[in-house]
Structure formats: C-alpha cells, structure tokens
Amino acid sequence: MDRFVIQGGRRLEGTVRINGSKNASLPLMAAALLTDQPVTLRGVPDLADIGNMRRLLGELGVEIAGGPAGDGRAETLRVTDDSESHARYDIVRTMRASICVLGPLLAARGRARVSMPGGCAIGDRPVDLHLRGMEALGAEIELDGGDIIARAPGGRLRGDTIFLGGAFGSTVLGTANVMSAATLAEGTTVIESAACEPEIVDLARLLTAMGAKIEGAGSPRVTVHGVEKLGGADHAVLPDRIEAATYMCAAAITNGVLTLEDCPLDCLLSVTDRLEAVGVRVECVDGNADPLRCAVRVAADRVLKPIEVTTQPHPGFPTDVQAQLMALLCLADGNSVVTEKIFPERFLHVAELSRMGARLFRQGNTVVVSGVRTLKGAPVMASDLRASAGLVLAGLAAEGTTTVNRVYHLDRGYERMEERLAAVGAVIERAGESA
C-alpha cells in the first residue's frame, strides 16, 4: 500500500485542470445498461472507483471501448449481453456506489440481484430509500444471502409518485437510481424530495440525450415520463466540483495562488461563500465562460478568519469538502465551528489532524476548531477518501515531513494527486508503505 511523503511549507502556484467528476461518472456509466446502443462518455476520470465500475459493468454484459488511459479520454459503453443481472459482493464491497446499477438493471432487464452494501468508514449508509423507490415503481424486493433481489412484475416498472426524503434530506444515488429506472417505466413518475446535486442534473442530461423525458432535475421535484426505449448518446462528464474545492483549499492553506481550469464554479457557490468568509479570494478569470467550465483564480490572505459551517444537501456546503475545509480552519486566527449534517460520524480526520498539532474539540456532529499558528508534520492515516484529502492539505502547510499512509483511499477519488500537486510546487512523492 502506497503512502505520500510531503515536505510542507511550500506555496502552491500554477494551473490545475479539473477532471470529470467521479460521482457524476458512476451513475452515468450505469445508465449505459438502459440501452443496447452505444453510450460515449467524455472526461471520465482515471480512478480506482471507475475501474471497479468498469469491472462490474463488464460482468453485466457491457463492453467498454477506449477509456481514461487513451483515446482522448472518451469511452464507449455498449450492452452486448443482457443475460447476467447479478452485481456480486466481491465488487460491491469495494465500492458502495455499485448500488447505482440497481435501477438501470431493473428497468432494462426486469430483474436485478445486487449485493447489499455494508457499512463504511463514514457511517452506516443504509439503502432503504433506494429500495423504497424501486418498490414504489412496482418492483418486488426480497433479501437473500446478503443480496437484494428485485423483480419488475410483467418485466416493466410502473410510474408513480414517490417521496424520497429521509431524516437528513434526500439521497443522491437513490435519486439517480429512481430517475434512471423511471425512464423506461410505464407512465409518469414524480420524485418528491429528490436530491438537487449537480451530478443528478448531469445524469438527467445524459438520459435526455438518450431519449428520456425528464423535467425538474436539479430541483426537489423531478418528473419522468416513461418511454418504451432509449438510444445511444455522446456526453461530456461534468467537471468534479469536489476536486475543484479541494484544490481551492490547497491554494488557500499554502497561501498560494492557483488557477483552476474547467472549474464548475456554478456548482460551488456554498464553498466559495465559506472560503471568501475565511479570506480566500475566488474569481472567474475568463469572462463569459461556461459557468460549469471556467477558469478560476484562487488566492488567500495571509491571515485566515474563523467561520461557522454546516454541511447540507446541495446547494448547501458539501459533506465531501468538510475535511478539507477543516484542515484550512486549523490555521485560522480564532475558533471555527464545523457541523456535519449528512454523515454525522464523518470525522476520521479529526484525531489525525490533532496528531499534527491541530486543536479540535468534537461533540457529536460538531467540531470546534481552535486555530493554531502552525501544524507539525507527522505520520497520519484515514480510511475515508475526503478525510485523506484533508490530511494531504494539512501536510502541505505543516512544518516538516508528513506521511499520509494508505493513499489507496485518495486514489479512489483523486487522479494522480501527488503529480498534480508537485506540478504546482508541492514537495510530495508517492512511496511504498513503510515497514
């Protein structure tokens, strides 16, 4: 298992191009199950989770040509065999997002067997709402041997009105599943309390290009008029708002200046609002550019101000940026308050940041961050992707050497992060795990 070794204290300066979004790509790839025509996706990032999704779709009879390693980053997915509908535990346990094949399989093949995802480092993460959504569309569901077995009576789902809200708001992949499944259902589906995340809007764009009839994606009420058949499409994946936010925090924590190209600024207003309150300047530098792909310059004041922040469903502050922002707040001049409302246990970085000299006091789902003048390099580790990103950022700012162990978590969501940080001035390298 690899680790990153970081010599902190270098100012970052230069340009980083933002990749296609991981969390958009996963349901987009799964949508290829809805048609026997080719679906071409442009800009899918080269990440471990994407590799897992390819493997899963391969087992489900999807042939994939091209891919991140070549061919201008376009990949074409096409169903060539629809006989297998089992997403096995072997793959699902490595990637919870495998659940997003459930809706497309059920809609296109009338049946699905998907291993039930277990808990993970950031919490229990149930899938009850996904199942509730499928049942509302007429699916019969049972559990057997740890697998969800779902069938559409008569081979086709039926549209209905579905309330998809839970205690925390809505569910992103649950909304993706129900919206995808409803495209081929008989009649009209109304999803109430749908997730409004930009990745849902991107999925709706692809599905619409495939021939689906969808209204309201990006709002809490999504209406889908079922069609008989979907066709192929060619789609450019939305740039990754979480990657962009992470590099914004990297510029800020090193007191550097980064220009982010292909930055989906329009999806990041809650993040830029909080960063500006800290004293980070974020400005679009290419005038009338597409607000989902603009060039953005990020620079920080020398003195960072403390703030309050609460994670919320979109358009609120994303849980996937909580750890990175917390790393930055460790160096603010005063006390900040960070509250996590989406995954109340998502604080694996707290104890590790404390090892670097941060002063953090957690109570329940709130952490008070008492800013310190400097962080100190240390060996650290976290078994959550975004927590690990927060630790890398802390390492970039810390005095001395920080070793971030088990970076396979980072590799799930950040493409060659060490090379990209090194290209803008960080002293960071990948090494095999120490004995």
103 in contact with ligand EPU (CB under 6 A)? no
* Touching ligand EPU, residues 382-421 (CB under 6 A): 385-386, 413
Pick 97 or 250: Cβ nearer ligand EPU: 97
- 8 Å CB contact between 110 and 155: yes
120 is a catalytic site residue: yes
* Touching ligand EPU, residues 21-50 (CB under 6 A): 23, 26
Segment 119-122 long-range contacts (CB within 8 Å, at least 24 positions apart): 120/96, 121/348, 121/382, 121/383, 121/384, 121/387, 122/343, 122/345, 122/346, 122/348, 122/384
User: For residues 118 and 94, what is the distance between their CA atoms, to the nearest angstrom?
Assistant: 10
CA atoms within 13 A on the CB side of 189: 34
**Strand bridging mode 213-215 / 188-192:** unpaired
Encoded one letter per residue, x for contact with ligand EPU by CB under 6 A and - for no contact, window 192-221 reads ---x--------------------------
By CB under 6 A, name the one of 342, 397, 404, 421 that touches ligand EPU. 342
By CB under 6 A, name the one of 55, 93, 125, 355 that touches ligand EPU. 125
243 in contact with ligand EPU (CB under 6 A)? no
Site stretch for ligand EPU (CB under 6 A), options 40-48, 164-172, 208-216, 400-408: 164-172
- 8 Å CB contact between 159 and 137: yes
User: For residues 180 and 46, what is the distance between their CA atoms, to the nearest angstrom?
Assistant: 24
Residues 6+ apart with CB under 8 A from 220: 170, 192, 193, 194, 196
User: For residues 389 and 409, what is the distance between their CA atoms, to the nearest angstrom?
Assistant: 9
Pick 55 or 281: Cβ nearer ligand EPU: 55
- Class of residue 145 by CB neighbours under 10 A (exposed 0-12, middle 13-18, buried 19+): exposed
Token pair for residue 313? Answer: 């469903």
Shortest Å, Cβ 423 to ligand EPU = 23
172 in contact with ligand EPU (CB under 6 A)? yes
Shortest Å, Cβ 317 to ligand EPU = 11
Shortest Å, Cβ 237 to ligand EPU = 13
Shortest Å, Cβ 311 to ligand EPU = 8
Shortest Å, Cβ 158 to ligand EPU = 21
By CB under 6 A, name the one of 28, 50, 57, 129 that touches ligand EPU. 129
Site stretch for ligand EPU (CB under 6 A), options 63-71, 168-176, 201-209, 366-374: 168-176
Residue that the structure tokens 């290829």 belong to: 32
Residue tagged active-site, from 100, 120, 263, 267: 120
DSSP per residue over 342-382, as a string? SSTT--HHHHHHHHTT-EEEEETTEEEEE--S--B--EEE-
Query: Any idea which residues carry the catalytic annotation?
Result: 120
Provide the binding-site residues for ligand EPU, judged by CB under 6 A.
23, 26, 97, 123, 125-130, 166, 168, 171-174, 195, 319-320, 342-343, 385-386, 413
